[in-house]
């Protein structure tokens, strides 16, 4: 597999670099100035650059399990907090997109954790970090009814986690200021890679609407 990556880099040097060497040289000399930050899952099926047709220098990306943004006051916010701080205060990005996705293993782990807690089951001790990380988003699912056999429970949970992260962005004071000054816009999107559809949070509502193309 690593060999495949090395060959991929060889091709990148040949094809991409030859065509856009100027862009890359400018990025090296002048530094980065991306306009957009994307917060998405570590899932290998979610590839922002491929999805959005962007190249080096275009996106400032943070990936973690289940695309989580803990609240500003959380003890777990150091990693994402430092990235947000750099993006908003130094890079002054114009947009931040929280990008969730279908069949998210991280959100599934959160649902399992909540169900286990409800049923008094002892959760597995196989993982050291996953439960404590995804449990950050427990409040997001308080409105999702786990007892109902809702066929969309997976989708509803994934979108609820996206909204949780989206709302938590506004708990970071300097980010909230930038939004109020209209120098920054934040977005909540959810990707279904099976149907190749992108959904976005509607304005003034928590409903997700499919983007029309």
Distances from the Cα of 5 to the Cαs of 15, 24, 30, 59, 116, in angstroms?
15, 20, 28, 21, 40
Residue in 97, 86, 92, 89 with CA at minimum distance from that of residue 166: 97
SS3 123: coil
Distances from the Cα of 106 to the Cαs of 66, 73, 113, 164, in angstroms?
5, 22, 11, 14
- Among residues 38, 41, 80, 155, which is the contact residue for Zn ion, using CB under 5 A? 41
- Among residues 34, 48, 70, 106, which is the contact residue for Zn ion, using CB under 5 A? 106
104 sits near Zn ion (criterion: CB under 5 A): yes
Q: Which residues contact 88 (CB under 8 A, 6 or more apart)?
A: 96, 172, 174, 175, 178, 184
Q: Which is nearer to Zn ion, 28 or 42 (CB)?
A: 42
Q: Which is nearer to Zn ion, 68 or 178 (CB)?
A: 68
Q: Which is nearer to Zn ion, 195 or 203 (CB)?
A: 195
158 sits near Zn ion (criterion: CB under 5 A): no
- State the nearest-atom distance from the C-beta of 157 to Zn ion, in Å: 11
Q: Which is nearer to Zn ion, 20 or 63 (CB)?
A: 63
Q: Which is nearer to Zn ion, 156 or 176 (CB)?
A: 156
- State the nearest-atom distance from the C-beta of 105 to Zn ion, in Å: 6
Instruction: Retrieve residue 89's tokens.
Output: 């205060």
| Number of neighbouring beta carbons within 10 Å of residue 32 | 12
- State the nearest-atom distance from the C-beta of 40 to Zn ion, in Å: 8
Candidates 22-30, 41-49, 159-167, 190-198; binding stretch for Zn ion (CB under 5 A): 41-49
48 sits near Zn ion (criterion: CB under 5 A): no
Q: Which residues bind Zn ion (CB under 5 A)?
A: 41, 43, 104, 106
């Amino acid at each position: 597999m690593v060999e495949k990556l090395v060959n991929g880099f060889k091709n990148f040097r040949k094809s991409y670099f030859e065509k856009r060497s100027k862009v890359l040289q400018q990025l090296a000399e002048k530094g980065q100035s991306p306009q957009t930050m994307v917060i998405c899952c570590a899932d290998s099926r979610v590839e922002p650059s491929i999805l959005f047709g962007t190249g080096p220098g275009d996106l400032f990306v943070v990936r973690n399990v289940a695309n989580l943004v803990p609240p500003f006051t959380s003890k777990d916010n150091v990693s994402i907090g430092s990235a947000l701080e750099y993006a908003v205060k130094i890079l002054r990005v114009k947009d931040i997109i929280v990008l969730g996705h279908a069949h998210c293993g991280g959100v599934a782990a959160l649902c399992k954790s909540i169900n286990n807690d409800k049923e008094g089951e002892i959760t597995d001790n196989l993982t050291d970090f996953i439960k404590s990380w995804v449990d950050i988003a427990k409040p997001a699912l308080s409105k999702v009814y786990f007892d109902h056999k809702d066929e969309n429970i997976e989708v509803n949970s994934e979108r609820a986690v996206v909204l949780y992260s989206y709302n938590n962005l506004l708990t970071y004071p300097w980010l909230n200021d930038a939004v109020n000054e209209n120098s920054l816009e934040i977005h909540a999107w959810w990707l279904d890679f099976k149907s190749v559809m992108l959904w976005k949070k509607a304005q003034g509502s928590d409903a997700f609407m499919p983007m029309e193309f």
